[in-house]
Amino acid sequence: MLYSMQMETSGSPKFGCRVTSPVITVWHTDDDPSCRNLVAQLLNRVEGIRCARGFESAELLLNALEVVAPPAVILLDLNMKGMNGIDAIAPIKAIAGDNTAIIIFTTFSDLYAERLAVARGASAFLLKRAKVDDLVQTIRHYADQSHTLKPRAAGIQIKELSVPALC
């Protein structure tokens, strides 16, 4: 837990400390800029979550991982120009390690792609038409690495809801 001391306008500290929750850092990789921007805006309104970076390709994400500390969670689209999301999982895991959860965040429900993604190391598979609350819950759930899917459990985590798509 992080501790912070609140300051009054006079500059003197208030008595006592309040406990603040750690912030979950998210990076979002999607070749659709409107989707990246919308998801970032929505997540940045949620207490305890910060969508810190957005990338238009898996290649740019991998370049950033080489020079910057990895986030707690990566939202990764499947169908992108250049390297697709499935092919990006192994190099992401090789650089970021097991402390970064990869959540496949895609438009189309594809059981084969989901199983392949989880077998390669993705934590979850979420459809873009999911509710914002489901996205937030999934991010919070998988930010804790004790909740990673095992490959044989693939197929149970697809969230498909009859609501307008996030992007």
Please, what CATH class does the domain formed by 23-153 belong to?
alpha beta
One-letter amino acid of 140: R
Mean pLDDT of all residues belonging to the chain: 81
From residue 116, how far is each of 54, 70, 107, 123, 143 by CA, in Å? 24, 23, 16, 11, 21
Stated pTM of the model: 0.78
Q: Report domain extents, the chain.
A: 23-153
pLDDT of residue 37: 96
Q: Which residue has the tokens 């084969």?
A: 112
Write out residues in the chain with pLDDT < 50, as ranges.
1-15, 146-164
pLDDT digit string, tens, across residues 62-107: 999 999 999 999 999 999 999 999 999 999 999 999 889 999 999 9
Residues 6+ apart with CB under 8 A from 116: 86
